[in-house]
Amino acid sequence: MSGRRQTIRWRDIGVPLAVFLAALALWEGLVRWKNIPPYILPAPSVIFDKLIEDRELLFSSLMATLGVTFEALVVATVCGVALALLIAQSKWLERALLPFAITLQVTPIIAIAPLLLVYMRPDNAVLVCAFLVAFFPILSNTSLGLASVDFGLRDLFDLYHASPWQKLIYLRLPSALPQFLAGLRIGGGLALIGAIVAELAAGASGEGSGLAYRIVEAGFRLDIPRMFAALALISLSGLAIYGALAALSHVLLRRWHESARAREE
């Protein structure tokens, strides 16, 4: 049993890791074999050296981007859940508020960012951009969860004359938890994308602390290895955010929800 579980874990982690390392080796070999200069395509080893060499600068930029991403995700979670709860209380509120949320969602953030930069300080504009893209998946998923309560359980709570507050605490919120966590996983990745997009839009006018700014700056200097190094950090950050939120979801749902159970079995 444990042997089988170990095999599954090794297959899940080992196979993609092996493919990734093979792709890096191929990339490294190709660059060396064809003598491709680093300002066209740097080899992975050169990018790694750059990561080490510029670690202080890149790490402080990484912290700045992650800080904005985290702040945006927290605000998006609070606002998304609060609005989902409001919408769940009344169809009128849903009709009044949801179109605004959908409009914000379907308008590309790259088109909103320059406008926000006109009205706000760059760091606030970056935060708002990241918030806007992370907000909608949390809102829509939580709304779906709150509206998808089992009819039998609703009857049960009605039978025992549960108050609206009791229904919310003991029934609707726990029922919505799986969908909320799915929205949070999507929102976490999108918050990072929103922050990066806004930093790119802010460009030289920004305060120049985030990873996207490092990419823009390195592009101006034709420091292609640093561009790749910053890009690698962004990708790793996205994976880490998704992994952390997936782990949180697994911890909270593994004992009772089908989605987490399927992964366990």
Residues of this chain that bind another protein (CB under 8 A): 150, 152-153, 155-162, 166, 170-171, 174, 177, 255-257, 261
To another protein, the closest distance from the beta carbon of 141 in angstroms equals 18
Half-sphere exposure in the Cβ direction for 212 (13 Å, CA): 22
Please identify, using beta-carbon distances, which residue of 4 and 255 lies nearer to another protein: 255
Q: What are phi and psi of 240, to 5 degrees?
A: -65, -40
Helical segments of the chain, H only: 2-33, 44-53, 55-89, 91-106, 109-119, 122-147, 151-159, 164-167, 173-202, 211-220, 224-253, 258-264
- Three-state SS for 169? helix
To another protein, the closest distance from the beta carbon of 91 in angstroms equals 16
Please identify, using beta-carbon distances, which residue of 173 and 232 lies nearer to another protein: 173
To another protein, the closest distance from the beta carbon of 8 in angstroms equals 21
To another protein, the closest distance from the beta carbon of 135 in angstroms equals 26
Please identify, using beta-carbon distances, which residue of 99 and 164 lies nearer to another protein: 164
Please identify, using beta-carbon distances, which residue of 65 and 142 lies nearer to another protein: 142
Between vectors from CA 247 to CA 245 and to CA 253, what angle results, nearest 5°? Answer: 100
